[in-house]
A and B are shown apart, each in its own frame.
Chain A
Amino acid sequence: MKNLYLIIFACLLFCFSQSTYGQSTNFFNQKNIFSVRASFNPRLIPIGQNGNYTDDGMYANEGVGRGTYYQYYDQNNKLVGGDQKFNLMLNASYKRIYNSDKVIGVEFNYQKHNLTINETANIGFTEDDYDISKPFLISTPVFNTYDIQILLGSFSDAVLAPNQHLFTYGLGVRMFSLDQDQNYRIDSETPITDLDDFLDDYEKIFIYTRFSMNYTYRMLITKNLSLDLGLNFNIGLYQDMEAVDNLPMEYGYFTGESAAYSRNFVRNKLGHETFFNMLYFRTGLSFAI
């Protein structure tokens, strides 16, 4: 894991070394850029890993989740599942240009994240020693996700900033906070789940460190306004992403006791899932002044 910090450091160095031949001026002397963008995360990695019930009624757990998968009990107590085609992230950023082509700024992102909870309990064994498992605690807690990042970067030095190619690196935090307004049914029998029984300390937010690399191609519409097209590569700097420890107690299912998810488990699972949503395509508008 220490290597990652090294990589970030190297990337930051790269970002500063890039433009030793910077322009000595700006396009219309514009030094401030305000951007509003939408980022789309096509489910490139999870797409082959969609969770599904197998023919024998078993549930394939791998690939479930990854932020876009959802499952819930509908009014007829029927389990409904599916996946959205992409994650949508909204960004707003402010950047200040200094030294003609370098930028420093701050970026805010917002998106919703579906954490798929889908546990199975072993309820017996078949003759062939296969587990007979039964899914329980099926739900999709929705998290509002906020990123705050410091951006550093530079424009390509061939043309005046702010114009055309922009490379930025962001370092900041990603915060997940449970959307408490929704009703999460953990099974068909429970019409309303008390959030206390659903998640330990549900009011507390989860904080991760994040690093991002962005490339933006700016197409000028007017001298101040431009259309941005870009790529955004997000890496979560969370170390332990195997969501195996701290599972809710299986006996809870049998005893009917509350089996609230521990924070540690959710934390690991969130980290794990977001890791599969690294690449975003961005589009939006920038206003430079």
Chain B
Amino acid sequence: MTAQTMGRNSVQYISPTRERVMGVLFLVAAVAMWFFFLRNTEPGVVTTFGMTPGGSKVVAPDWVFETSFALQVLIFLTAFLGVYQLARGFKQRTNLILGIVSGFFIFAFLAWGTAGVSLNLAGLLRVMVIRSVPLTLGAFSGILCERSGVFNIAIEGMMLTAAFTATLFGSVTQNIWIGLVSGMLSGLLLGGVLAVLAIKYKVDQIIAGTVINIFSTGLTSFLSAKFLQKYQELNNPGRFPNWDFPGLSQIPFIGPIFFSHNLYVYTMYALLIVLTVALFYTRWGLRLRSVGEHPKAADTLGIPVNRTRYMAVLLGGLMAGFAGTYFTLGSVGRFDEVLTAGRGFIALAAMIFGNWNPLGAFGAGLLFGFSDSLAGKLTILRVPIHNKFLEMAPYLVTIIVLAGVIGRGQPPAAGGKPYEKE
């Protein structure tokens, strides 16, 4: 969080109205937990959470607790936080407390939904991490572009093209690494198209992104229908194997969830650190951000605005390409038409929800990955919520964040505007 305030308005004004609204919201959450969950729970019923993902060798004992007792504790804590917020206020830490309350609510929901049955919590969280990969990596691509002042709504198209290219070249050469590199290069190429359209020709960046999205959908579906479906051997690039991170993967519960994955998950962790450091603690990052915030000032100081933007968008394309190859090389191991299914736009949402910040985007990716993962398990829980509503959740929370209900996001100030020297 400190990183994000660097170079931005460090004096934060805290609206008293918002403080009160949040306090009321916390209390409402407490009441809702009582009304929906506790009221409908028989005393004495237990919740069983499995703590070992299916197939994992690192075994942790199941977590069994009495549902109504857990709910009472959570309701008490939430109500306390709400009262404290109204009486004294958490000031700067309001968003953190909001996160905690949301966590309580989700946990209460799971505990109530699992009352009398059992749910593999570790499996749920493991799938969350897996599902978050393309969202987080796609959001990183968006961050690179938009921090430099170029909107990138073409993440979807770049990922789709990269998924296709990786499959084709990986299958032809029978070498998964060539598939990976060619997929990334195809993302780079489309990043170049976006950059040339947006920077050189000053095309509206939303339109430039739309061009890439329509083109990618058309081209990959066309080639896939024409070749991949006919010659199945062209659609078999293989998959990256899982690899247990030495040491860390042996921690019960945590290990199998976070440290027993393929290349993509570990690269995501590494990129999270690299990108955060590069953007906020290096001269390179300061220059990139300055070009997105105030290009004229940057230009005055001798920073080549358009060259910086070219570089950022090309890197963004490369990143989106890497994210795209995940769909085939890291996940299902074959290409199907439009297999990204709108994940590029959820990545966009994760970028906004994460406030154009790598760490935030990672958190948002995990959150959206969780809702995705939970949507797949809802049927076990016998709760009266349709999984389609959970699938809507990422889009809804993004709208809520954009509208400023929970803390307004701060997009780069010069986003979307081509820079013209005077």
A and B co-occur in one complex: no
| Interface residues in chain A, defined as those with a beta carbon under 8 Å from any beta carbon in chain B | none
